[in-house]
Copies of this chain bind each other. A is one copy, B any other.
Amino acid sequence: MCRWIAYRGEATALEHYVTEPANSLITQSVQALESTASINGDGFGLGWYGQHPEPGLYREVRPAWSDENLRYLCRHLKSHLFFAHVRASTGTPITRPNCHPFACGKWLFMHNGVIGSWSRLRRQVEALIPDELYPARIGTTDSEAIFLAILGAGIEQPVTAAETVLARLTDFVNQTTPADRLRFTAALANGRDLYAFRYAVNDRANTLYYRESDNDIVIVSEPLDRDHKNWIAVPEGHVVVACAGERARIVPLFQQHQQAAE
């Protein structure tokens, strides 16, 4: 279990979302309210887009709450699309390459969830990564493997690519005895468009909320303040599609497949 926020909108200093709110991500790193792990002290990361086509990354193995560098960066970095993540490891080591977000080319990804029995399913999941993307696997998490699998599954259609991989993962966990659980609450972006997924198999999905204004959308694991009426819960099995210049749409996952089948 981890906590994260994703922002798309007018360029803004990261501190307004990461460090300043009453229930900011830093506060959640010490005590998350809606997470099975109340402490998220196993490293953290920022990913952000600026003028360069590829995003920047700042990832560290220390807890977010005591990192002076993070406070300086959140004050000085401005971005129109950024991710921030605090980690509670489900078993893989606390290393920078295992901290979220993950970057590859213009794409950015972060995840809160688990593929139950990672050590049993790992080889199957890693096999979903195409050869040309395997050099980009610099860590050992399930999250990074899923990201690279999605990139390899036709990323020009991001929702379909994610659905393709989630269908495979669903098969994998259902083939174990007893059936494993899969929880996937994740964000994906390319510098323009932002996608956030809430999905689970054999388990309850991790929480996901968003708040939209005329100028921006913020998508979070849990609300950043106590004004809960501002925050809309994303239903299980849905994806938030927040394309540049459009209002966000909440779309059921696997809809197109179903439509195609009808």
User: Which residues does A use to contact B, with CB under 8 Å?
Assistant: 30, 39, 41-42, 48, 50, 52, 56-63, 65-66, 68-69, 72-73, 75-77, 89, 92-97, 119, 122-123, 131, 134-135, 137-140
Residue of B nearest to A63 (CB): B41
A107 CB to nearest B CB, Å:
15
| Distance between Cα atoms of A14 and B94 in the complex (Å) | 23
- Chain B neighbourhood of A95, CB < 8 A: 93, 95-97
Q: Which of A56, A92, A119, A123 has the most C-beta atoms of chain B within 10 angstroms of its own C-beta?
A: A56
Contact B92 A66 (CB under 8 A): no
Given contacts A63-B63, A97-B140, A123-B131, contact A69 B58 (CB under 8 A): yes
- Chain B neighbourhood of A50, CB < 8 A: 76
Contact A96 B97 (CB under 8 A): no
- Chain B neighbourhood of A134, CB < 8 A: 119, 122-123
- Chain B neighbourhood of A93, CB < 8 A: 68, 95-97, 138-139
Contact B138 A139 (CB under 8 A): no
Contact B140 A138 (CB under 8 A): yes
* Cβ contact of A94, chosen from B42, B58, B66, B92, cutoff 8 A: B66
Contact B66 A60 (CB under 8 A): no
Contact B56 A72 (CB under 8 A): yes
| Distance between Cα atoms of A135 and B119 in the complex (Å) | 5
* Cβ contact of A59, chosen from B56, B59, B69, B138, cutoff 8 A: B69
* A-B pairs with beta carbons under 8 Å apart, 25 shown: A30-B39, A39-B39, A39-B41, A41-B41, A42-B63, A42-B66, A56-B75, A56-B76, A57-B69, A57-B72, A58-B73, A59-B68, A60-B69, A61-B62, A68-B93, A77-B77, A95-B95, A95-B96, A97-B140, A119-B135, A122-B134, A122-B135, A137-B140, A138-B140, A140-B140
